[in-house]
Amino acid sequence: MRAFKLYFKVMRGSLATIITYIGIFVVITSFVIKAQLPSEEADLKIEGQKITVFDADESQVSKAFTVYLADHAEIVELEDTEIAINDALFDGDTHYVIRIPQGFGKQMLDPERHYAELNARGSVYVHLSIVSAQLVESYNQTFQVYKQVFGGTIPTEHLEETLDLIQTDLQAKVTTRAFLSGNASKIDLLGTAFNNTFYIIIALLSSVIGGTLIAMENQAVKWRDLVSGVPERQRTFGIFLATLLFSVVLWVFLIVFLYTQLGFDLLSDTKSQWLIGVSFVHMVTVLAIANFFITLLRNKGALTFFSTVFSLALSFTSGVFVPLEFIQTPVQKVASFMPTVWAVKANNTIVNMSEQAPDYSFIWQAMGIMALMAVAFLCLTLVIRRSRLRSHA
């Protein structure tokens, strides 16, 4: 395993780069986690949902519906612009935005309809969005019951009285609080932290492995190994094994660091285990892609430029630094040809998944796509290395 040992000897020259990247990650991640980690005293807290309502109907029914929402949630006034709404949903200033369209009141009273059209959007706080949606559903179901009592629609002369009865009836039935456990908050924070590790993995694997491989692909070094009786197949296997070992060690270190900050008790959580699985598949795929592009470049200057641009561009377009909600769809489609956007989407799905009825189909799909990418880039790398060997033979 001469190539395997030589690889780590050459890698010593990149020790400063490794320490710098990891040091920056540790400092920033520690600060963010400590700032957002719930205290033990607040391990279980009660948080009320905040709802924003834009009423374009201004009918008697829509106004009664808004009053009902105000009785069970905090109504937050917002500027009616896309930017203001997105910022409020992301920052937690509001958890649910409802647009009541014109004709809402007529649709609710229509004997042929069982539900009026509403445009509703939830925030990243999925648990509170779900509770808010349940508020809307409870009102609609109760309204439909009273419609049936009157034979399919509520007469105009009885409308005000009936709306008051609905309000009174729901007052005792609908709860307006969502219980948030400290463990759930930790899982949310863990998902974000896993997303942040993607940048470090991309940056280090492309720069450190790249610099080492370029040094080992130097013609003098390569031909010395071949003349010494080391077959190219054995040499390639040794290099790949060394890069895999370095990647796994780096990945394990990052994972262990995250759990030292958030608690190793999270390892028993099913969501935590899925996050680890997605992270591992992403790491292997990034390694395969890095090996492919490094094999193509073979130039240290080009590699330095590539590793910087590649890691930053991939992180900014895949949801590592900027939430996916704020990245335009065409950009996401372009980024989908790389594994990171799939890993971020899978992590977000895991964190927001209902514990009562978990659905892992998208996570399996994302991991499968990343695995296929890894296999494809690995095969391309082997083809390029073999073709170059034949050209020099």
Selected residue with higher pLDDT from 231 and 213: 213
Per-residue confidence (pLDDT) for residue 226, from 0 to 100? 57
**pLDDT at position 74 over 60:** yes
Give the gyration radius of the chain's Cα atoms.
28
Contact 317, 341 (CB under 8 A): yes
Per-residue confidence (pLDDT) for residue 52, from 0 to 100? 94
Q: Give the model's confidence band at 180: pLDDT under 50 very low, under 70 low, under 90 confident, else very high.
A: very low
Percentage of residues in the chain having pLDDT higher than 90: 32
- Just give the CATH number of 50-175: 3.40.1710.10
Percentage of residues in the chain having pLDDT higher than 70: 84
Looking at 262-266, 306-310, 312-316, which range is the least confident one?
Answer: 306-310
Per-residue confidence (pLDDT) for residue 176, from 0 to 100? 41
Q: Where are the domains of the chain?
A: 2-38+182-392, 50-175
Per-residue confidence (pLDDT) for residue 44, from 0 to 100? 40
Q: Give the model's confidence band at 232: pLDDT under 50 very low, under 70 low, under 90 confident, else very high.
A: low
What integer best gives the mean pLDDT of the chain? 82
Contact 191, 363 (CB under 8 A): no
Give the 3-state secondary structure of residue 47.
strand
For 74, the enclosing helix (H) or strand (E) is: strand 74-75
**pLDDT at position 222 over 70:** no
Looking at 86-90, 292-296, 360-364, 388-392, which range is the least confident one?
Answer: 388-392
